[in-house]
Structure 1
């Protein structure tokens, strides 16, 4: 008689994030980029009131700050971290060869014994893609028991006009670090689903803006539904929906598609934090109150080039 092999589970045990110190509101941004006041009003109406501006600060600095806070807050010795994964969205957030961004983070935080590598090209979904890679690594290597994923992105001053995603979001400069542990009792990642819509392979239109597509809602919904199904629960079991900080008006439609009351959508960080690329749902995971044992959080993000990711975590 064969015995089923229990797959090791990874838990999201803790998060820490680091935002650029300087906050800039939508009206300031519109003025300095020569945008009409109507643009700022539309952004504010859609929940994008401000962003955090690194003003030349390095993504490595923000990443090191987030990882250092994570290690300190959790009392985790750096030498006990078995894997370190760096992710980013825009190409300027990684150092050009022969320098290595992940190696610099590793050196500054003392995790010199960790297996270190980077995951990219999934844009704002890259942190979830990194978690998927780590799940496979944990299956293949039982010695891997603790890992850190850190994402960091900074928009340079020369690209300041690209901070706005239509009138739906403003990009913030920042970093977020995630502590993942094998078989921890809380924060179990029960369902994870990634999806890429190949029709959006170009990423943007000729004006470097996302191409409007009503199919976005269906792709977002089916990605979240798949993660919920993989967790073995129903949408009604979800106690918190932790979104990316973009398209706040569209979330009313998505919550209706999920059949969930809007009160379960955590929206406090849309205006205050801004869209910190792939970090949004994990920042919300840290800041969302009332995550009582037995509850379930649904984390969601999407990115350019048709990337979608959803993850269900058991409290």
Structure 2
């Protein structure tokens, strides 16, 4: 059974108030007030110095310090939302592999599912590690919103910078994944370039589609929603999760929303950051069930059930 053995996160200490992001977002003050007052976003972390490589190296190095036997690391995976992060021919993973002497690691990146790509990596690793219980995989997330186009999810959220690293295997005892579901809502491949009418159509289907992916993951895990102690969402905005909570008839107090005002949306890193925060705050105890769920532009929906 696939499990998340250890996680590390890196969030820039530099925080910028949403109302001070006119230049970074190219949004007007009145529009920024909508994101702040209605969507519940207050600040986002913004990387001031350094590049993407040095940024994602921070949680990776901490994770490798935890992992005592690097020869067991079979896969090094980088999941990200932005399709192109490097110049052509530049292999970030190859540089990291050589730097940390991960000689046994097979490298690949994933981006097709956008901000839900972490879930697809989990699904793939259930196959890759199933017959290799002695091996580990590392999944890295991390991006810097270097243009206003990346800093804003129109009508939804504002994006902060963050990076994470996860160590996974099939022989762990905590954070065992009981099920996973990934689904493509076809017809919305243009993402942020959808027309107003297409966005309206998507919005009319989104809540029901999220309910369906959550229920599918629960059915695969053979448990009911009332057994879930905590939902770890993608940090899109507060109103969306209030609507989902009502539709699920699920207590909003059991959906971890504390990081939305502090960090905004952080591409593929939301779920690991939320898990890290929930564990630090003792929101989960041994034997608790929790559910990660989220959405990626395109639109990709995902949900996974874990037992801590």
CA RMSD in angstroms, aligned pairs only: 2.1
Go from structure 1 to structure 2 and tell me whether the alpha carbon gap of 1:193 and 1:103 turns closer, same or farther (over 3 Å shift): same
Q: Could you tell me how far 1:164 is from its partner in structure 2? A: 2.2
Q: Which residue of 2 aligns with 1:231?
A: 221
Q: How does 1:136-285 map to 2 (within 5 A)?
A: 136-139=127-130, 141-142=131-132, 145-156=135-146, 159-160=147-148, 162-205=150-193, 211-212=199-200, 213-285=203-275
Go from structure 1 to structure 2 and tell me whether the alpha carbon gap of 1:206 and 1:227 turns closer, same or farther (over 3 Å shift): closer
Q: How does 1:102-141 map to 2 (within 5 A)?
A: 102-139=93-130, 141=131
Go from structure 1 to structure 2 and tell me whether the alpha carbon gap of 1:138 and 1:31 turns closer, same or farther (over 3 Å shift): closer
Paired residue secondary structure (1:155): coil
Kindly indicate whether residue 11 of structure 2 is the aligned counterpart of residue 19 of structure 1. Answer: yes
Go from structure 1 to structure 2 and tell me whether the alpha carbon gap of 1:217 and 1:203 turns closer, same or farther (over 3 Å shift): same
Q: Which residue of 2 aligns with 1:4?
A: none
Q: Could you tell me how far 1:274 is from its partner in structure 2? A: 1.9
Go from structure 1 to structure 2 and tell me whether the alpha carbon gap of 1:19 and 1:92 turns closer, same or farther (over 3 Å shift): farther
Q: Is the 8 A contact 1:59 1:174 kept in 2?
A: no
Q: Return the alpha-carbon distance in structure 2 between the equivalents of residues 206 and 122 of structure 1.
A: 17
Q: Return the alpha-carbon distance in structure 2 between the equivalents of residues 108 and 71 of structure 1.
A: 12
Q: Is the 8 A contact 2:15 2:44 kept in 1?
A: yes
Q: Return the alpha-carbon distance in structure 2 between the equivalents of residues 33 and 138 of structure 1.
A: 41
Gap runs ≥5 in structure 1? 1-8
Q: Return the alpha-carbon distance in structure 1 between the equivalents of residues 125 and 26 of structure 2.
A: 44
Q: Which residue of 2 aligns with 1:68?
A: 61
Paired residue secondary structure (1:189): strand
Paired residue secondary structure (1:309): strand
Q: Is the 8 A contact 1:47 1:169 kept in 2?
A: no
Q: Could you tell me how far 1:271 is from its partner in structure 2? A: 1.3
Q: Which residue of 2 aligns with 1:100?
A: 91
- Between Structure 1 and Structure 2, how many residues are aligned? 301
Q: Is the 8 A contact 2:25 2:152 kept in 1?
A: no
Q: Could you tell me how far 1:165 is from its partner in structure 2? A: 1.9
Q: Which residue of 2 aligns with 1:298?
A: 291
Paired residue secondary structure (1:116): strand
Q: Is the 8 A contact 2:181 2:213 kept in 1?
A: yes
TM-score (norm 2): 0.91
Q: Return the alpha-carbon distance in structure 1 between the equivalents of residues 96 and 258 of structure 2.
A: 30
Go from structure 1 to structure 2 and tell me whether the alpha carbon gap of 1:108 and 1:272 turns closer, same or farther (over 3 Å shift): farther
Q: Is the 8 A contact 2:157 2:265 kept in 1?
A: yes
Q: Could you tell me how far 1:161 is from its partner in structure 2? A: 5.3
Q: Is the 8 A contact 2:232 2:293 kept in 1?
A: yes
Kindly indicate whether residue 33 of structure 2 is the aligned counterpart of residue 41 of structure 1. Answer: yes
Q: Is the 8 A contact 1:67 1:109 kept in 2?
A: no
Go from structure 1 to structure 2 and tell me whether the alpha carbon gap of 1:85 and 1:34 turns closer, same or farther (over 3 Å shift): closer
Q: Is the 8 A contact 1:15 1:177 kept in 2?
A: yes
Go from structure 1 to structure 2 and tell me whether the alpha carbon gap of 1:226 and 1:206 turns closer, same or farther (over 3 Å shift): closer
Q: Return the alpha-carbon distance in structure 2 between the equivalents of residues 284 and 296 of structure 1.
A: 15
Q: Return the alpha-carbon distance in structure 2 between the equivalents of residues 221 and 207 of structure 1.
A: 25
